[in-house]
Chains A and B, each alone.
Chain A
Amino acid sequence: MEKKWPLWEIFVRSKNGLEHRHFGSLHAADADMALENARDVYTRRSEGVSIWVVESKNITASNPENNGELFEPAQDKVYRHPTFYTLPDEIKHM
């Protein structure tokens, strides 16, 4: 019969205080197996203290073709940055 094992995305927190970061992906029959495999594939040298697994099909990603309308509007909004505002020289820190 052979039903394919689905693909999972693996996120690892390398130490407490840091966020989970995408490490890669792997195939597994279910979430439990994905966790076990992720431990063996991505944390053989103490790279992590916590693992998230998400089945790849559940991730919705933006499309680079839409990058213009999505991200370009931020480029001309310089007033969102502190350097847009002028301060007298006497003020050293603000």
Chain B
Amino acid sequence: MSDAQLKNLEEIFEQRIANDEKIEPKDWMPEKYRKTHIRQISQHAHSEIVGMLPEGNWITRAPSLRRKVALLAKVQDEAGHGLYLYSACETLGISRDELYEQLHSGKAKYSSIFNYPTVTWADMGAIGWLVDGAAIINQVPLCNTSYGPYARAMIRVCKEESFHQRQGFEIMMTLCNGTEAQKQMAQDALNRWWWPSLMMLGPVDAESVHTEQSMKWKLKRKTNDELRQQFIDQTVPQADILGLTVPDPDLKWNEETGHYDFGEINWDEFWQVVKGHGPCNKERMNARVGAWEKGTWVRDAAMAYAEKQQNKKENPAKAV
């Protein structure tokens, strides 16, 4: 293909997106579009999969059967979300095994928030309320993104996500209406999860390298800073209802802007965690890679069994 032809195709492509048309797997697309989507969708899928680990920690120790079934269902949803997203990603011409390989080797990233430990039961509340809350803010605009399979997967994810946030808030509310020690536990969880949740929405706009291109392709409808402000504005009143204090001395309502002003985020911490030096990066990857490796014989056995069944069907006479 000549440069002129390529440029023409690219122009037609950008025009289609500008007209709100969807791009489907077999359509022509610029290589950069394909790569950017593989990066973002797989990162998203990996986050769902690794995101099961901090919560898995509490399934056996949930304080009641009600909490246990809810947590199990939530973790199962996360597995499901990972699977929707992996299959959307595979439509771009990358195999599931390559995707896993990128996660396991550290080439692909996942959300930095899952590298923090879950030390008390209240962390299950804080994760549902704050982490899933931030995720919803990030994800809702993606239901309308330009790549068809990703948009369809996101619609399904978003439908299921609101139960996650509610169950988290309910855990927080129950603790806050409990004994003084329980309320303290809820406050402690908020103290530890607040800032990582704000960081989860990504670096400030000035330092976000992908924002501009992603906005054009509708992979992003709002900038990181806009999403963060939206998250803070909606979450602070919820903390008030719980009677908890957001751990930010600079946080205050700004009558003029109609938004909350908030304090400086510790971006050094964020980049440390992204680079692999968070409190649990190693533990998470060991758990994930270990599960994959220990499962090899199961996958092999299933495949051998399937082949044996197939042979039996094709050659019934030979079957012993």
Contact = CB atoms under 8 A, between A and B. Distances in A.
Contacts of B27: 64
Given A1-B300, A2-B296, A30 B80 contact: no
B87 A33 contact: no
Given A30-B309, A64-B26, A3 B80 contact: no
A33 B97 CA distance: 19
B302 A29 contact: yes
A41 B73 CA distance: 12
A61 B96 CA distance: 21
Contacts of B84: 24, 41
A21 to B, nearest CB: 11
Given A30-B306, A30-B310, A63-B26, A40 B300 contact: no
A17 to B, nearest CB: 22
B26 A44 contact: no
Interface string B14-27: 00000000001011
B158 to A, nearest CB: 13
A7 interface: yes
Contacts of A93: none
B160 A45 contact: yes
Interface string B278-311: 0000000000000000001001101101100110
Contacts of B73: 44
B94 to A, nearest CB: 12
A45 B310 CA distance: 32
B299 A40 contact: no
B83 A26 contact: yes
A71 interface: no
B120 interface: no
* Residue among A2, A27, A33, A63 with max Cβ neighbours from chain B (10 Å): A27
Nearest to B309: A30
A85 interface: no
Interface in B46-103: 73, 76-77, 80, 83-84, 87-88, 90, 95-97
Interface of B: 24, 26-28, 73, 76-77, 80, 83-84, 87-88, 90, 95-97, 152-153, 156, 160, 296, 299-300, 302-303, 305-306, 309-310
The 7 A-B pairs at the shortest CB distance, nearest first, are namely: A30-B306, A29-B302, A29-B306, A25-B87, A3-B303, A29-B303, A64-B27
8 contacts: A7-B90, A24-B88, A30-B302, A33-B306, A41-B80, A41-B83, A44-B73, A44-B160
Given A26-B83, A41-B84, A44-B160, 18 more contacts: A3-B300, A4-B95, A7-B87, A24-B88, A24-B152, A24-B156, A25-B87, A25-B90, A26-B87, A29-B302, A29-B303, A30-B309, A33-B302, A40-B76, A44-B73, A44-B77, A45-B160, A64-B28
